[in-house]
Structure 1
């Protein structure tokens, strides 16, 4: 066979090297562009999350200045009573992130307003069902083993709740005045159509996030059962307060990935959805390393990223099962054993909680890494049809 001359190989090698450089530059450019898109959404979301969280965190700080009982009472109220309702309502409402994100990506802007109205109907009914729990919360806390002093004091949080209502009213005014770029076209009877599919997704979302919030809520209740619980409850509340500041940054940023993933899946751009997940994973790891300097559970940004990817993709039911296994079959039993049997007290309960969070983070990372994004994009329309109803395609 005729040998290829060395002079002929050089241009070929040079062309191959040039193509590799172009591919690397293209990947860098795609990463940079997607990172910019994420931070444009994440910046306002982080600011909003930090401001909202600061209301409870600062109130807790001032309660600590009043006394140990007041700090413990507010911690129980903020983590258990408000956490119960917040977990349910946020979970039921997070179905909007899936449906609105995928509807926007598919170019069906009018359905975003319809989905929001359906969510109002469902959340109003849910709020009515939760009212007795708030009314009789002091008695329920005593049934769970908390002292009468802490239980009664934890039943009086009025000003903080009024502040939350102010935020809701201002958000409504913004929606009604700006029209949200065509997404809001006024009230419609379509809000009452095809509710069952929306309820199914809302319930799956509620279970997923409630298992997340209640894990921390049960932690506070368990610590309250320890001998001489006042100081352990105060200590755990301070740890959770510190964790919350980091979590708000992660939640604000990872709300952006939920939007990006659902938008791209709705538009059928599976490759861009995969790039979004890659960018948010790298960024979350960087945030996690920064968070190490402030507290122990530095997996929070990574975990929040994976949770938001799950919401954007519509994996709420799958994540609910993962939460049950990691939190309630592993984390809580480990915390109870360390705290009570081995005498580590609040520190042992906190350690068990961190173990459950770390295990959940590992599982979510593995699930996300092995996801077939092309298949997810192909199934996006059928999911919107299933959960959002036939009106989305009229």
Structure 2
């Protein structure tokens, strides 16, 4: 009888342990689903919006590619060198807004988001005027960098059309960061879809039906980049964000220097990443048969860029989730969000890795009629696939850095991994070992791999409780009391 009681207790204890384990698994499962929901609320619209922004460029390239090989090479050169250079600066500087808005929103200081947005507009607009000479001097700059004269001349003409695109990016990037921080970004999907549809129709009308050639393609490009901005501004100004937008304020001109410093460190971090591929194109431009090499590489980088838009969406989501949780004061939630975001992005990267390994160079015919260029794309496809796999992790870790405000630290990591390891190794393999563009790309992939490992180690070793304290200190240091920010009519406030 006593033995029966012991066995019963043992069985009961075992059953209780199993029930506790099952309940624990259910809780983790629910926690993961809840985090995925929060993640995709930001990542979904962010991915689609970035697809649209990048899609405008790809659609332009597709139409220009059927105008002529020189025009395609020139547009690819301007897009991957000059425009990527500018995008790196503006996107990087606007990522400071993502840090500030995300942490302020998490700390329930919603009234600060509108002020941060206006400060970012001021800083980025001044920066854009400083960058205009790069567009005006694009032809001599590209020739100085060793590019073919015919390609550089056409590239200089295209660069002039991209000046209004640069100013469109100022509003586009900042409004996106502002809306993402408060998960009010569904409107971006509708505007992005409208811009793509208009761009396809207008490009066909101007380049195919009315035979306007390069000017027609560029007119459509400018219009498509400004459509989302008009819609986003109307949404913000007309009551779409009542808790965070209370009107224009003179307070936007106060405390600009801390914003400038964070914007500059953010700009350097993102620039060093985006310029990396630009240098790959520049190095390729000095190889034999440069036109084919640039065309093939630009097609690969554009395909890679499509996938990169997914990763950048997860970068934005990681930045928002981490900054929100740090501002809210939850280090555990921030760490859990990082794990879920990295695994989700990596799983998508693995699927795309397999897809591009299987299809190799067949996708090249979307962009070109040249069999020589398509074959060159096929040769580069394995490297493209590995780039896609790395891109599924590295940008997410950069998003974590943005959310935590580590931009200056990651900038140093980027300098070391990209410019002291990747590029020198690529030059050696491409020019000295004569692997041509394949060698250059291999070297730069090694740099990206090293950077990814370093960021993983930094993220793993970080004291996240300390990051919570730093985030809350930042919010308190830059906060403006809500009573001092509002006035009677809610339109133009003073200090």
Q: For this structure pair, what is the TM-score category when the shorter chain's length is used for normalisation?
A: over 0.9
Gap regions ≥5 residues in structure 1: none
1:72–1:150 Cα contact (<8 Å) kept: yes
Q: Partners of 1:107 and 1:32 in 2: how far apart?
A: 24
Aligned position for 1:299 = 390
Q: Distance in 2 between matches of 1:290 and 1:207?
A: 31
Between 1:290-299 and 1:239-248, the stretch displaced more is: 290-299
Query: Separation in 2 of the partners of 1:238 and 1:353?
Result: 17
Bigger Cα displacement from structure 2, 174-183 vs 9-18: 9-18
Q: Distance in 2 between matches of 1:14 and 1:370?
A: 38
Farther off after superposition, 376-385 or 232-241: 376-385
The separation in 1 between residues aligned to 2:154 and 2:305, in whole angstroms, is 23
What's the secondary structure of 2:48's corresponding residue? helix
Question: What does residue 120 of structure 2 align with?
Answer: 119
Partners of 1:260 and 1:174 lie apart in 2 by: 23
Find 2:229's aligned residue among 154, 168, 183.
168
Offset at residue 10 of structure 1 (A)? 3.4
Q: Name the residue aligned to 2:210.
A: none
Instruction: Say which SS state the counterpart of residue 155 (structure 1) adopts.
Output: helix
Q: Per-residue displacement from partner, 1:249-298 (whole Å, max 9, x unpaired)? A: 22123312211111111010111111111111111220120121222311
Q: Which residue of 2 aligns with 1:335?
A: 426
Tell whether 2:273 aligns with 1:273. no
1:391 is aligned, of 476, 480, 489, to 480
User: 2:61 matched to which residue of 1?
Assistant: 60
String of CA shifts for 1:2-48, please: whole Å, max 9, x gaps: x9944443333332332222222111110111111111222211111
Q: 1:10 aligned to 2:11?
A: yes
Q: Is the 8 A contact 1:236 1:350 kept in 2?
A: no
Task: Give deviations 1:92-120, integer Å, cap 9, x for gaps.
Answer: 11101100001110111110000000001
CA contact (8 A) 1:79 1:217 kept: yes
Distance 1:136 1:162, change over 3 A: farther
List runs of 5+ in structure 2 lacking aligned partners. Answer: 162-217, 357-384, 485-495
Q: Distance in 2 between matches of 1:384 and 1:130?
A: 31
Work out the number of aligned pairs and report it.
Answer: 390
User: What per-residue deviation string (whole Å, max 9, x for no partner) do you get for residues 104-152 of structure 1?
Assistant: 1011111000000000110011011101111111111111111221111
* Alignment-derived partner of residue 81 in structure 2: 80
SS in 2 for 1:96: helix
Distance in 2 (alpha carbons) for counterparts of 1:171 and 1:156: 30
Whether the 8 Å contact between 1:251 and 1:304 is mirrored in structure 2 is: yes
Does the 8 Å CA contact 1:96/1:119 hold for their aligned counterparts?
yes
* Counterpart position of 2:347: 286
1:173 positional shift:
1.9
**Which residue of 1 is the match for residue 157 of structure 2?**
156
Deviates more, 1:197-206 or 1:179-188: 179-188
- Alpha-carbon contact 2:56-2:225 (below 8 Å) kept: no
Distance change >3 Å, CA 392–CA 91, structure 1 → 2: farther
Task: Describe the superposition over 1:324-361 as per-residue Cα deviations: whole angstroms up to 9, x where unpaired.
Answer: 11110111111111111111111111222222112211
Aligned with residue 446 of structure 2, among 355, 367, 371:
355
- Distance in structure 2 (CA, Å) of the matches to 1:346 and 1:7: 72
Return the offset for 1:170.
2.6
Q: Distance in 1 between matches of 2:465 and 2:10?
A: 38
Distance (whole Å) between structure 1 residues aligned to residue 231 and residue 430 of structure 2 = 44
1:175-224 deviation per Cα after TM superposition (whole angstroms, max 9, x unaligned): 11134132111000110111111111101100000101111111111111
Does the aligned pair in 2 maintain the 1:77–1:154 contact within 8 Å?
A: yes
- 5 Å-filtered alignment, 1:25-36, equals 25-36=26-37
User: Is the 8 Å Cα contact of residues 316 and 399 (structure 2) preserved in structure 1?
Assistant: yes
Deviation at 1:166, TM superposition (A): 3.1
SS in 2 for 1:156: helix
Over the aligned positions, Cα root-mean-square deviation in angstroms equals 1.8
Aligned residue in 2 for 1:207: 268
Distance 1:181 1:365 in 2: 38
1:98 is aligned to 99
What's the TM-score once normalised by structure 1's chain length?
A: 0.94
Q: Find the partner of 2:465 among 370, 374, 377.
A: 374
